[in-house]
Amino acid sequence: MMPAGPLMIEHRLIERMIKLMKNELQVMSQENKADVPFIDKAIDFIRTYADRTHHGKEEDILFRDLMKKKILAEHKRILDELIEDHVRSRAMTKSLFEAKEKYAQGNNDALKEIINFTQVLVELYPKHIEKEDKHFFLPVMNYFSKEQQAAMLNEFWEFDKKLIHEKYKALVEEIEKLNIHSSSP
């Protein structure tokens, strides 16, 4: 398996959480209230799985190694956009956390912020994932020899040993089972 494979597999779990967040966004708008425990779980997932685990492997391993290569201008442009997306995701997640804290303390005006920051995240991730899956991961693998790809893949596995994939897979499955809204489009 080439290094793009595990990253693309991680995208599928992120997409599942984004779908749940999108569904919750509709509920928040319709009911004019936020589900604080759901928001906490979504923030935890985005921070730990999407950012630290997934983006961590991209930034700390793949992007690091790509920056040592002479890559096409198009790939460099996409790389820069992906890094900007990561920064934006972190900022939006931080803002969502802060809005959720205000809301949990009784500030109902923070609901608009929660909805706004959630909306930004559910719009950002599908575009980001499509860019990586369809225009970046596979083409940039050509910059690496089979040996370099194997070394990168091993580094991914070592990186993952320090993190908890199963916890977040179970978290998404739990929300999917409990969330009566998850079956809506």
Is residue 133 a part of any domain in this protein?
yes
Contact present, 18 and 122 (Cβ < 8 Å): yes
Domain containing 88 equals 4-178
Cα–Cα distance measured from residue 35 to residue 2, given in angstroms and rounded to the nearest whole number: 39
pLDDT at 2 over 60: yes
Contact present, 141 and 149 (Cβ < 8 Å): yes
Is residue 183 a part of any domain in this protein?
no
Q: Which residues contact 54 (CB under 8 A, 6 or more apart)?
A: 7, 10, 11, 14
Is residue 65 a part of any domain in this protein?
yes
- Which tokens belong to 155? 């580094």
CATH of residue 165: 1.20.120.520
Is residue 185 a part of any domain in this protein?
no
Is residue 84 a part of any domain in this protein?
yes
Q: How many domains does the chain have?
A: 1
Is residue 114 a part of any domain in this protein?
yes
Is residue 115 a part of any domain in this protein?
yes
Tens of pLDDT, residues 138-148: 999 999 999 99
* Prediction pTM value: 0.86
Arithmetic mean of pLDDT over the chain: 92
Tens of pLDDT, residues 17-61: 999 999 999 999 999 999 999 999 999 999 989 998 999 999 999
CA 73, 1, 62: angle at the middle one, nearest 5? Answer: 35
CA 8, 77, 83: angle at the middle one, nearest 5? Answer: 55
Is residue 184 a part of any domain in this protein?
no
